[in-house]
Amino acid sequence: MPFQSKENRLNITHGTALPDHVLEATAVVAGYGGKTILRQLDLHIRPGEIYALLGANGAGKTTTLSLFLGFVTPAAGTVRVNGIDPATQPDEARRHLAYIPENVALYEHLTARENVAYLLDLAGQRGDGAADAAIAAIDNALAAAGLAAAAFDRRVSGFSKGMRQKVAIALALARKVPALLLDEPTSGLDPQATTEFNRLLGVLRAQGVAVLMVTHDLLSAADVADRIGFLDAGRLLEEVAATGADRFDVRSLHRRYGALAA
Ligand SMILES: Nc1ncnc2c1ncn2[C@@H]1O[C@H](COP(=O)(O)OP(=O)(O)OP(=O)(O)O)[C@@H](O)[C@H]1O
């Protein structure tokens, strides 16, 4: 399938920056100190859409995530999370987001269930219901995230990367956030865990969560994403959308990605 040209993409995204985009970056210029990293970045992600952002090392992928988290303030352009500006209302914007870094940080001495309960408390989202109902809601989230019931009461210190991600995704599900940011989620996962992770993203999509996934894993992106964007030196060079049963042309994606990284 042919790539959408930059011109087409810009026409489309500028024309359809609708409020129903949960994650929006429009004409964003941003960087660190005097150094510009993102140059006129346009990125708009709808509810239930999985967007994979690919690019060479240093292209600005993690900086893009930092924009939505309110850790980087744009010098120009606008950023919105569910309509909220993370530069001026970072706490409010973060209430609408879950961020899963490459290595998920959990409380090692707590069990999976205790981690979700405690992190929900920290987010002010434990709820006022009965304790049994709160535990049932956490267990439902852990099960939906694909964690085996036998692991709910195990300390997470012995968990694999894939299991830790499941705990983090369970937390996102329990918080009912509309947007999820993922940094290199499949690096270090074996093929089976990657497939399982991609299945989980499908669960989030079905729940209407907007997912922005930064990755170098082209195959996983081709497998699960609805759109793939190629970031090159802070510019979103091209976007390609999955359409129909054929999804992506992986060889074409690979050629494009290789050219960027060269
Ligand atoms: N806190 C910071 N202060 C100054 N420069 C930074 C900071 N964070 C990142 N940079 C620089 O910004 C540029 C983009 O970094 P970023 O981490 O966004 O790239 P990336 O596309 O995520 O790369 P990678 O694939 O290696 O993770 C790099 O040149 C990096 O050195």
Q: Inform me whether the pLDDT recorded for 26 exceeds 70.
A: yes
Transcribe 193-257 into DSSP letters. Answer: HHHHHHHHHHHHHHTT-EEEEE-S-HHHHHHH-SEEEEEETTEEEEEEE--TTT---HHHHHHHH
- Give yes or no for residue 59 CB within 6 A of ligand 1: yes
**Packing angle, helices 161-175 and 112-122, rounded to 10:** 40
Distance from the alpha carbon of residue 29 to the mean position of ligand 1, in angstroms: 14
Instruction: Give which of 42, 40, 41 is closest to 13, Cα–Cα.
Output: 42
**34: how many CB neighbours lie within 10 A of its CB?**
5
Which atom belonging to ligand 1 lies closest to the Cα atom of 216? 25
User: pLDDT tens for residues 60-71?
Assistant: 999 999 999 999
Reported as half-sphere exposure (CB side, CA atoms, 13 A), residue 177 has a value of 26
Instruction: Tell me the pLDDT band of 9, cut-offs 50, 70 and 90.
Output: very low
- Ligand 1, atom 8, lies closest to the CA of 63
Confidence of residue 37 (pLDDT cuts 50, 70, 90): very high
pLDDT in tens, 104-147: 999 999 999 999 999 998 887 765 556 667 788 899 999 999 99
Q: Is the CB of 58 under 6 A from ligand 1?
A: yes
| Over residues 234-256, mean pLDDT | 80
User: What are the C-alpha distances in Å from 26 to residues 39, 77, 155, 236?
Assistant: 11, 6, 43, 11
Do 236 and 230 meet the contact criterion of CB atoms below 8 Å apart?
A: yes
Mention every residue, 6+ apart, whose C-beta is less than 8 A from residue 262: none
Q: Which residues pair with 79 in a beta bridge?
A: 25
Question: What domains sit in the chain, N to C, each tagged with a CATH number?
Answer: 6-96+177-261 (3.40.50.300), 107-176 (no CATH)
Ligand 1 centroid, distance to 57 Cα (angstroms): 8
For ligand 1, atom 3: residue with the closest CA:
32
Alpha-carbon distance of 125 to 171, in angstroms, equals: 10
If one residue of 28, 29, 32, 41 were mutated to test the ligand 1 pocket, choosing by the most ligand atoms within 8 A of its CB, it would be 32
pLDDT of residue 5: 37
Q: What percent of the chain clears pLDDT 90, i.e. is strictly above it? A: 59
Mean pLDDT, range 139-159, rounded to an integer: 94
Query: What is the arithmetic mean of pLDDT over 219-241?
Result: 90
